[in-house]
Every structure is written in structure tokens, then in C-alpha cells.
Structure 1
């Protein structure tokens, strides 16, 4: 079986992390070559072994693939060069609805869709796509890197937030809960890993500076951490990873942090329910109202804005978030982390190989179940 994988490979965005890891794992089973949509950037500090392997996969002879995997945002809507090639999309989704245009294009171009959680799969199925052509492959983590070896236990209790400084990730809820819960008298620290290269610049530095000068517990922004080694050490220096999201597709950083010994504190009712068992924030489902869209809290180009009032999001309870942050702060030594549902990249690669073998063995009828 010859497999081509198209997408970004050389950045530290979640899509690129998935692409390079599944390419390396899948190469153990089939003939894989990659079609990068980005260029190598030394600033992302990828390991030399990973870079060499990606270069090897990129420089392989470009044979006609049996299967072409596409994993990018937005998706690549086009026909493959050969009619022989089946098209497989790996497609995360954070919304509870799929744009009608996307639904039509998946039905037109895709032989199969692989998504990253059961939660995401249900969104595709509820949109009317054929359940037999939807599969789930959980993203993984590298246990040789993300583990509890050399954890740093500090007297200061440390919360960490990793994600976009955008409305759907719930950073506003976290900052308001932080001010509600802790003061400078508490030996506690909030570290925020910003990703302006992905989500754009924000006014977060001004907000954090104002908070630190107003009697609240210390918070700071981390923007220079890029490599996986640096991320692993950051997790090992932290006690709780907190993510009060309104919309999420999986939460790779939560899985990585848990494997390094961080307690997860995340929204209930989303995809993280599939691997986080305890310490979930109470939520309710709400519609994205016109008033909310006009408030300026949602970027006009954000997927929530595109879906409009058809979209539903989770709204975490800020009081429950505050209470649970306080509880974890006061009871760290009593808490055990259940890692039984975490998945490594090796498991992801095995799962992907089984899915592709199944796809290759079947006749192609595209995704639609309306024939």
C-alpha cells in the first residue's frame, strides 16, 4: 500500500504534530511519502532525528498513491491526480455543526473521514454523513518525552493554561476565576502559554500586567517555549493544567500534561470526557447569539462566527471552576491522576494502519449516504 500524507509537518501547531507523528509511525507498516504544505523553520526546534526522518519521507519517489491523506485547515478540496487514489481526510472539528458547504464537499471529495474523538465523529454523523465512512483515531503522545521523570516539585502551586487567547478556549473565564479565587497571599502561580503565531496577537500582556499590580495572585505569559522538550519540562514544573474551553476537538496538550503528572481541570461535556475522568468543570450548552457575535468577543473569522446562531457551545460555570481550583490547590497531595485512557503515538499509528487497510479493501462510493 502506498500512502501520501498532505499537510503541515514542520511547525508546533497541533495539525503538524499529528501529521509528522502519524507519518513516522505509519512508515513502519506501509510505503509512506509526505507532501508538506510548509517549510522547515529552525525556530520550532524540532529534533534532528525527526527532521531527518521527515526529509527522508519527503524525498521518496512520488509514486501514484493508493491512499492520499489530507490533514490541513481549511481542508484541501480538490481531486487527486489519479482516479486510482482514494482520498482520506483527517478532520478535527470544534464546532457542534458542520458548515453546509463543507458537508457537501466532504461528500464529493472524500472516500473516508478520520476524526480525532468520538465527540467529533458524532458531529459528522449528525450532519448526515455515512457512519460507515467515519472513523476515529486519537492523537497520541511520546511517552519517552512526556512522563513523570525529573518532575520539579516547587513550594509554589502552579496552574498552567495552554491554548489560544480566544473566546472559544475560555481564557476570559480562567482569568475571572483566578481573580475570584486567589490573592497575593496564596502561594500560587498561573502560567499562560500563548501562541500568537497561530491565533494572532492579543491584549493579554496588558491584562496580566494590570492583574499583577492589583493584588491578585501572580500570573505570567510564556511565549518563547516552542520545542517538545521545553513543553515537557513546562508540564513537569506544573501541578494543574486548566482548560475551561467552550469549544474543543480533543485537547492534545491536556493528554501530554497528564502523562507528565499534571492534574487536568477541564470542561465537562466535550471530547476530553473520553480520557479525563475526574475534576471536570460543570457546563451548560448555550447558543451563539447575535448579541455575542456583535460583542467583539468572537473574531469575525472564527469558526463560531461563521456558524452563527446555529452553533452551540459549552459555557463553563465560573463558580465551579473557582471552587475546583481552590480545592486542587489545597489538596494536591491527596489527588491521583487516572491515565488509563491516554493514547501513545504508537497506538495511533496502529489504529491508522487498520483504518487504511479497511478503506483500501472496500469499493469507493464516497461519503454520501443519500444515493
Structure 2
């Protein structure tokens, strides 16, 4: 056995369990994070489809060969699914993302049974501790971007050439938590008849079978409905960079985010960003970001009341402040562009997937 093969045989893998396929937040997080981690340590991946997958069979196979018995099992999933770690070999790590200030009690119990919990932001860590987890069991392992895909040099898509004027972009699910309706209504009153501006919405809601953006826009009685452009879901995540670079600014008046990947990606691409000054994105938002002021309020959204029992609290962005920031970015474009490029340097210098993998490696030990 060569020295290289001997070293490899004594470097046990990490067993990674999560949603590797798909275009949504957890999918992108899982795929990119473990790809970067695999460049540092061996990773044995067990992809899930919904809640099913061969993770148990994979675990059994790994444990039959002593050299392959995992040093750790990392499940990157909703907290409610963390019983998947029961009986796992090595260190049992629950890596999760959540937006509310309240976790259902049974979710906390499942997280408490892990050896340690990873969460992407210091804000999220504080929330977990407030929900009863021991401080020494909760650690921040951030998310990131792929700098080869998300940077200011990306060639923009030509698909938006038909839309004239200054383009604001919003990416994400159309829902109360994302503040999509608030954004549309505020954008409509922010600009006058002579302003050359449009709002590009790259959002849908796959959870709602009755989702109809045209019906929603009609119900809002907008002054300038022609300034709102809805584009269908982008199937390949790599195409998002081309979409960001085809726009002039990014805006996200969310009420809460566990991380806020589109905000991070837009910053990486050099767009000036307007975003709510709250929750997970405060981990990476620097002084380049136009921060929307907000009040913290009780959650009344039925989705969170049913899934989190107590609901918790989140931000209510100030629509008047959002209106001011939209006008500021539109009217002071050179300054906004400078801030956007400063934000890109900040993200690409500190928040790539390789940066995240190195933080994880320090937790795993070498």
C-alpha cells in the first residue's frame, strides 16, 4: 500500500443525507455545500426524494467496511426529520434552516438528540438557544455562492431585452413571508408616470395549486400594471446569474429568512441590494446593502401557525422606507452601482461554498 492510499484509507468519510436534486433553497444548499466539502474530505452522499431514500442501506454498506465507517453523519434537512440520525455512526450532526423565532417542541427534541446542530447564521443560532438548545451544541456553518457562476462578469440573459427602463428584480416564492405583495404594492406607488422603471418577478408558489399571478395582479388595482413583469420559474439554478446580471438592482422585503440565498447571489453578481434588516441575511449583509427598516411583530400567517404551533415573530418591513430606498437606487444609479460592486467583493471574499466547507471542516476535525 502506498503512503497516499494508506492516508486515504484512514480518512473516514462524512455520510451526507439531504435533497441533492432540485432548484429550491435546500436543494441548492445541499448540493453545493457537500460538493465543496467533498474536495476536503471524503463524502458519501445519500440523496432523498421527498422523505424517502436509500440512506439506511447506504449506512449499512458503509459500516460493513471499517475504513469506510463515517466519522460523522450530516443530515441537511428540516428539523422535524432529524430522527434520521438515530443510530447513525460517528458524530451525528443536524444541519437545518428555519425562519420563525419559534420551533415546534417536537422539532427541538429531535435536534437535541443530535450531537451538535449546525445553523447558517448567528441570528439562527440565537433563536435555537432561546428555544432550549444548549449553547455549546449549536454552531454557525454558513451558506454561500459559487463564484464561478455568480460574479459581475457573467454575461446577462437576453430574455429581458423587451423590458425597458431601470429593472428591479425579485426572486423567490410568492408568499407572505417573502413580502411579495408588499413589494408590488409599494413599487407601484414609488414611481410617477414619467419614470422609466419596471419590476421583474421571478417567483411562483409551487405549494399552491391555485396560484395565478395574473389574477393576483388584477386584484391589486395597480396604477401601472404594465411595469410589472412576471417570468416563469428558472429551471437551471446556474441561469439565475444571467438573470441577475440582466437587471439593475435587487429588492427583497422579506419578513424572515433562514439565510436568503437569492440576496447573497444578487450581491455576488454586483447588484445593489435592498433588503429587510432582519434574520438570516444579516449574517452576510454589509454596509453596501440598502436596509429596510422594520418592526418585529407576531406571526399571523396560517402556514406558520399550523406548522410551528405558536407562530413566533418576524419583521414587518416599513413600506414608506422601502419606497424611499427604491427611489434612491433609481435616482442615484452611480452610487448604487458602486455599492453593488462593494457588496460583490464582500460576498466573494467571505461567503463562498468553499468558505462554508472550511468552517464545517474545522467542526469535523481533520
Q: Does 1:234 align with 2:260?
A: no
**Contact map agreement 1:9 1:19 (CA 8 A) in 2:** yes
Hey, what does 2:109 align to over in structure 1?
104
Q: Which ranges of structure 1 fall in alignment gaps of 5 or more residues?
A: 40-57, 359-371
Task: Spell out, residue by residue over 1:53-82, the C-alpha distance to the aligned partner (whole angstroms, 9 max, x if none).
Answer: xxxxx9xx6343231111123542436575
**Contact map agreement 1:185 1:217 (CA 8 A) in 2:** no
Q: Does 1:357 align with 2:365?
A: yes
TM-score scaled by structure 2? Answer: 0.82
Q: Does 1:249 align with 2:258?
A: yes
Give, in whole Å, the separation in 2 of the partners of 1:200 and 1:26: 37
Hey, what does 1:122 align to over in structure 2?
126
Hey, what does 1:17 align to over in structure 2?
28
| RMSD of aligned Cα (Å) | 2.7
Hey, what does 2:7 align to over in structure 1?
none
Q: Does 1:346 align with 2:354?
A: yes
Hey, what does 2:54 align to over in structure 1?
none
Q: Secondary structure at the match of 1:327?
A: helix
**Contact map agreement 2:15 2:44 (CA 8 A) in 1:** yes
Distance 1:36 1:191, change over 3 A: same
Distance 1:212 1:281, change over 3 A: same
Q: Which ranges of structure 2 fall in alignment gaps of 5 or more residues?
A: 1-11, 51-57, 64-68
Give, in whole Å, the separation in 1 of the partners of 2:84 and 2:227: 52
Which of 140, 156, 159 is matched with 2:168 structurally?
159
**Contact map agreement 1:88 1:110 (CA 8 A) in 2:** yes
For 1:215-364, list aligned pairs within 5 A.
215-216=224-225, 218-276=227-285, 277=287, 278-288=289-299, 293=300, 298=301, 300=302, 302-307=303-308, 311-335=312-336, 336=338, 337=340, 338-339=342-343, 340-342=345-347, 343-357=351-365
Which of 90, 94, 97 is matched with 1:85 structurally?
90
Hey, what does 2:142 align to over in structure 1?
138
Give, in whole Å, the separation in 2 of the partners of 1:156 and 1:212: 22
Give, in whole Å, the separation in 2 of the partners of 1:112 and 1:119: 17
Deviation for aligned residue 1:262: 1.0
TM-score scaled by structure 1? Answer: 0.81
Hey, what does 2:38 align to over in structure 1?
27
